[in-house]
Amino acid sequence: MNKRIRFRLILALTPLIVPAVRILGRSIRWKKRYDFHKDRGKIYALLHGHALGLALFGMDRGICTLASRFADGEIATRILEGLGFEVVRGSTEEGRAEKGGRTVALQLIEAIQRGKNVAITVDGPKGPPMKVKRGVVFLAQKTGAPIVPAAVKFKKFFEVRSWDRFLVPYPFTEGEVIVGEEIRVLPEDDLEEKRLQLERVLSSLASS
């Protein structure tokens, strides 16, 4: 099956995929519920491999998130919107106009100013794995919004053989969202230092 046919097939199946993912999410027995409702205008930073887990945890809370502007991003957009997320298409990479970076940054800044919480897979959409890209700290510096590092743990799961080691939980397993201390990026801060700080925190959360 070539890529185009596979894409069309998955796209056609999204009306069935969304309810299945919702059922999976409701079956998870979460150890602790993070209260999204107390947050306004925060940036949740997570690794790409943890994206499904955080999506299951954060369903129907109106969180704004990103999907790539390429074909796989169309599938992700339909699924995420079906799970109650607000989706922006493109990349957060600063200055990369060809990837929609400037437009995306403006959309995310506007969302944060409206008090929306934003979730970003900081090593996506193509990796390298666990290497934080600069866009998230640039966004935090421009908006003054705190970065909330987050990771997800499941008692029973399988790991997809992909570049991001994508985690998929088994139904009815125990799950836990681990959140690190908030990181603020001030106007005078060095973006590379903050990027490395976030990278270390996420690596620690993922391996804990």
What are the pLDDT tens digits along the chain (208 aa)? 677 777 788 888 889 999 999 999 999 999 977 777 789 999 999 999 999 999 999 999 999 999 888 777 888 999 999 999 999 988 766 445 445 567 888 999 999 999 999 999 999 778 899 999 999 999 999 999 999 999 999 999 999 999 999 999 999 999 999 999 999 999 999 999 999 999 999 999 998 8
Q: What's the CA dihedral at 93, 149, 160, 60 to 10 degrees?
A: -90
- Strand pairing of 64-67 and 86-89? parallel
**Rounded Cα gap, residues 119 and 116, in angstroms:** 10
Report the pLDDT value the prediction gives residue 93, as an integer from 0 to 100. 63
Whether residue 83 contacts residue 52, with contact meaning beta carbons closer than 8 Å, is answered with no
Report the pLDDT value the prediction gives residue 8, as an integer from 0 to 100. 81
**Rounded Cα gap, residues 156 and 143, in angstroms:** 38
E-assigned strand segments in the chain: 29-30, 43-46, 64-67, 86-89, 118-121, 147-154, 157-159, 167-169, 174-179
Number of domains in the chain: 1
Give me the domain span that covers residue 155. Answer: 3-207
Give CB contacts under 8 A, 24+ apart, made by 67-73.
68/124, 68/125, 69/99, 69/100, 70/125, 71/3, 71/7, 72/7, 72/125, 73/125
With tokens 């998130």, the residue in question is: 65
